[in-house]
Amino acid sequence: MVMKVLFGVMAAADFIGIIASILLGYLVSKRMLKPIDYITKTAENISINNLNDRLEIKGPDDELKRLASTFNKMIERLQEAFDRQTQFVSDASHELRTPIAVIQGYANLLDRWGKDDRDALEKSISAIKLEASNMGDLIEGLLFLARGDNDTQLIEKEEFYLNELIDEVVRESRIIEKNRIIESSKNDNIMIFADYKMIKQMLRIFIDNSIKFTPAGGEIDVSSMVYNDTVQIIVSDNGIGIPQDEIKKIFNRFYIVDKSRSKEKGGSGLGLSIAKWIVDVHAGIIDVKSNEDKGTKIIVSLKLD
């Protein structure tokens, strides 16, 4: 009888224990999984048109809180990338709209008067060629930056003498530009490992920018100096300069400084963005020093290893 009673008590206790364990396990697991369920529902609500939601996980600094923090940072990066893409498309559309409108306008002029008016014909053809060239440069710049953003831009690094490249660019610039004094006051003999065409493109962008905003008779200097394991490429001019509050923005795509980067001087605002990308892809550092009405100095630092 004692054994039977003991067996019954133990069986009842086991049954009650199992039920209690199941209920307690359900409650605990539900409580533990509640933050995960919240993360899942929030993630489902986030779409390309709604990147403003963020996870708010309260409690100890555990794995779930770190997961929520990582998720929020990822959404912030996605939002920044999406905003940049939206702005990029908007700016590109705006920049392309103007030359297309000009071409259409002169095409209509040709259709009406160009057949009989020689002056209208020559003026229209010249304007259409100019706008087509500007539009081609703009599209080429857009494609370059798009390939850079997608990591599909071809980079062919090789060893070459930087001083010889600078001499070549200065010599070519003197042939193209007769109204400015372009020189190289200091050009250290140094070999670097980089993409030759990209470094040359970067130098041309800086020099062209200096030419645009340096009055006739002004001076432009392209130099290089070696400091320990770093080489500095310095492009300076005595042009109109850049306002201090605009310096940080000049490398933004399509950004045009109001006071000095007028449309009359040409350009779409992509050149310095391309130059900045070239410096970044070579793990370099770019610094800009400028004073209005005194000039601008652009310093690019590249590691020699």
* pLDDT tens, the chain, 305 aa long: 888 888 888 888 888 889 888 888 888 877 777 777 777 777 777 765 667 777 776 766 677 778 778 888 888 888 877 777 777 777 777 777 878 888 888 888 778 776 777 787 888 888 888 888 878 878 888 888 878 877 788 889 999 999 999 999 999 999 888 889 999 999 999 999 999 999 999 999 999 989 988 888 899 999 999 988 899 999 999 988 888 888 888 888 777 765 444 455 555 678 888 999 999 999 999 999 988 888 899 999 999 87
Question: Cβ neighbours of residue 296 under 8 Å, at least 6 residues apart?
Answer: 210, 213, 236, 237, 239, 241, 242, 288, 289, 290
Strand partners, 222: 235
φ and ψ of 98, to 5 deg: -65, -55
Strands 285-291 and 219-227: unpaired
Angle at 140 between CA 135 and CA 146, to 5 degrees: 125
Tokens of 40: 């899942």
In this structure, the answer to whether residues 162 and 287 fall within a common structural domain is yes
Tell whether 164 is covered by a domain: yes
φ and ψ of 152, to 5 deg: -115, 0
Q: Which residue has the tokens 């009673």?
A: 5
127: domain range? 94-149
| Count of C-beta atoms within a 10 Å radius of residue 72 | 16
**Rounded-to-integer distance, Cα 104 and Cα 127, Å:** 11
Helix 2-45 / helix 63-109 crossing angle, nearest 10 deg: 20
In this structure, the answer to whether residues 42 and 64 fall within a common structural domain is yes
Tell whether 82 is covered by a domain: no
Q: How many domains are there within the chain?
A: 3
Tell whether 72 is covered by a domain: yes
- Tell me if the pTM is above 0.95: no
Tell whether 84 is covered by a domain: no
